[in-house]
């Protein structure tokens, strides 16, 4: 700053002083607004998790109980039963019971007796919403051996989530087997070997894959891919984890491609230039120098691809056949966690056991995708720091 004569300094800044502060004020305001917007994203994530977690909490803590060992209360006995016992019997609070008139209570007692009469199955005495019943096989009435059964709408609702977890993992595994070699291979080609002109065509086209609505992809898999693949491989079940996994792979390829390509490009050119100067071929440079240097980034791409695949809904809902089988074969139908939530949440009674268990599935998915995204981000970040620090 150059000091100006005191008189001029007093006159000019007065006129100017009004403008810059106003601009700064607007800037300050804009900055805060953007900050609030970005903060709201974090808040949203927290709110969603809090909501999903809250709905699932009673199941997680083992506070739900659907065991029914009650003996029916006859209509004539209503006056002799203590109110708190009657309220518990009808599944309402004592305060709610007090607000009912005699006719309503009578109707409810009749309906409860009717409901109890229908449940002659001895398995009704179990609480099928316990962790044990959700993870361990059990020999239900009418079954030949202990099995993992997901039958949430039944005389005895069976909430074993093992078939769903296996279904999700099966479809995801197939998707990764398809998409990792293709996605990483394409990334190596585009970032290291392709001519600039070819790169400019291939890159946007692969990224365009992520723009296909998953319902369209699912429909394509259901109508075209399912029949074609069955004719090619000759397996028994037309809709299965294999078909769903391949369609799912198409949604995952852009994720893996984009992130691996990013990682490969961020390897400093000095690495490859040094190798080329020593007489290495281009593919040798790509395979032996650049890929190893970017390996953590490629790994992160695969982890993020896993997160994307396990959370995808529409494709698996349409193409997997949705049968709740526990089997190791990828040519059997499978039912994923996401498809189960999508297919069943619309009809459940709000606040019921089925509803809470579906939310538990949602919470599990949320945790899995959160962890995979977190790992992916951390790895990518570290790689960038490492490469840029050295380069």
- Under rule CB under 8 A, residue 67 binds another protein: no
Q: How far apart are the C-alpha atoms of 217 and 314, rounded to whole Å?
A: 9
Please say whether the dihedral angle defined by the alpha carbons of residues 91, 96, 98 and 103, taken in this order, is positive or negative. Answer: negative
User: 229, 317, 330, 365: which one contacts another protein (CB under 8 A)?
Assistant: 317
Q: How far is CA 158 from the centre of its chain?
A: 23
* Binding footprint of another protein, residue count (CB under 8 A): 50
- Under rule CB under 8 A, residue 350 binds another protein: yes
- Under rule CB under 8 A, residue 27 binds another protein: no
User: 322, 336, 338, 353: which one contacts another protein (CB under 8 A)?
Assistant: 322
Buried b (16+ CB within 10 A) or exposed e, 216-230: ebbbbbbeebbeebb
Q: How many CA atoms lie within 13 A of 242 on its CB side?
A: 20
Closest to another protein by CB, 140 vs 257, is: 140
**Residue with structure tokens 């959160």?**
370
User: 4, 77, 104, 270: which one contacts another protein (CB under 8 A)?
Assistant: 104
Whole-number CA gyration radius for the chain = 30
Q: How far apart are the C-alpha atoms of 228 and 250, rounded to whole Å?
A: 16
The β-bridge partners of 158 are 151
User: Is 98 within 8 Å of 82 (Cβ atoms)?
Assistant: no
- Under rule CB under 8 A, residue 147 binds another protein: yes
Q: How far apart are the C-alpha atoms of 21 and 29, rounded to whole Å?
A: 12
Q: What is the DSSP string of 204-225?
A: HHHHHHTTS-HHHHHHHIIIII
User: 66, 127, 154, 265: which one contacts another protein (CB under 8 A)?
Assistant: 154
- Under rule CB under 8 A, residue 321 binds another protein: yes
Q: How far apart are the C-alpha atoms of 319 and 248, rounded to whole Å?
A: 10
Closest to another protein by CB, 104 vs 288, is: 104
Closest to another protein by CB, 188 vs 247, is: 247
- Under rule CB under 8 A, residue 107 binds another protein: yes
- Under rule CB under 8 A, residue 108 binds another protein: yes
- Under rule CB under 8 A, residue 207 binds another protein: no
Chain positions 222 to 251 lying near another protein, rule: CB under 8 A, are 226-227, 236-239
User: 158, 170, 308, 356: which one contacts another protein (CB under 8 A)?
Assistant: 158
Q: How far apart are the C-alpha atoms of 383 and 230, rounded to whole Å?
A: 42
Closest to another protein by CB, 174 vs 303, is: 174
User: 36, 44, 153, 215: which one contacts another protein (CB under 8 A)?
Assistant: 153
User: 90, 202, 209, 375: which one contacts another protein (CB under 8 A)?
Assistant: 90
- Residues engaged in binding another protein (CB under 8 A): 90-92, 96, 100-101, 104, 107-108, 111-112, 114-115, 118, 140, 142, 147, 149-155, 158, 163, 226-227, 236-239, 317-318, 321-326, 332-333, 335, 343-344, 346-350
């Amino acid at each position: 700053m150059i000091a100006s004569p005191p008189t001029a300094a007093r006159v000019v800044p007065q006129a100017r002083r009004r403008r810059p502060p106003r601009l700064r004020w607007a800037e300050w305001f804009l900055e805060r607004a953007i900050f609030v917007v970005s903060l709201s994203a974090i808040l949203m994530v927290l709110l969603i998790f809090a909501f999903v977690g809250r709905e699932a909490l009673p199941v997680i803590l083992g506070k739900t109980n659907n065991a029914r060992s009650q003996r029916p209360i006859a209509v004539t006995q209503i006056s002799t039963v203590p109110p708190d016992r009657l309220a518990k019997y009808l599944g309402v609070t004592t305060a709610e019971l007090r607000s009912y008139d005699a006719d309503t209570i009578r109707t409810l007692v009749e309906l409860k007796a009717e409901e109890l009469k229908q449940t002659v199955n001895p398995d009704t005495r179990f609480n099928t919403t316990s962790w044990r019943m959700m993870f361990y096989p059990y020999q239900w009435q009418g079954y030949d051996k202990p099995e993992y059964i997901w039958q949430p709408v039944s005389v005895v609702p069976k909430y074993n989530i093992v078939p769903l977890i296996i279904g999700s993992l099966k479809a995801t595994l197939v998707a990764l087997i398809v998409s990792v070699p293709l996605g990483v291979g394409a990334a190596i080609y585009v970032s290291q070997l392709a001519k600039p002109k070819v790169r400019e065509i291939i890159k946007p086209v692969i990224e365009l894959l992520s723009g296909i609505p998953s319902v369209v992809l699912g429909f394509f898999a259901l109508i075209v891919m399912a029949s074609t693949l069955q004719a090619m491989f000759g397996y028994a079940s037309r809709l299965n984890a294999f078909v769903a996994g391949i369609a799912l792979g198409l949604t995952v390829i852009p994720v893996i491609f984009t992130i691996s390509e990013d990682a490969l490009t961020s390897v400093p050119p000095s690495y490859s230039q040094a190798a080329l100067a020593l007489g290495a071929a281009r593919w040798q440079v790509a395979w032996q120098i650049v890929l190893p240097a970017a390996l953590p980034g490629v790994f992160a791409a695969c982890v993020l691809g896993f997160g994307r695949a396990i959370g995808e809904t529409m494709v698996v809902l349409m193409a997997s056949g949705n049968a709740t089988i526990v089997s190791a074969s990828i040519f059997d139908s499978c039912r994923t966690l996401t498809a189960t939530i999508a297919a069943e949440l619309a009809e459940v009674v709000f606040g019921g056991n089925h509803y809470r268990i579906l939310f538990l599935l949602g919470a599990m998915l949320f945790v899995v995708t959160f962890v995979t995204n977190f790992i992916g981000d951390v790895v990518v970040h570290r790689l960038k720091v490492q490469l840029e620090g050295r380069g």
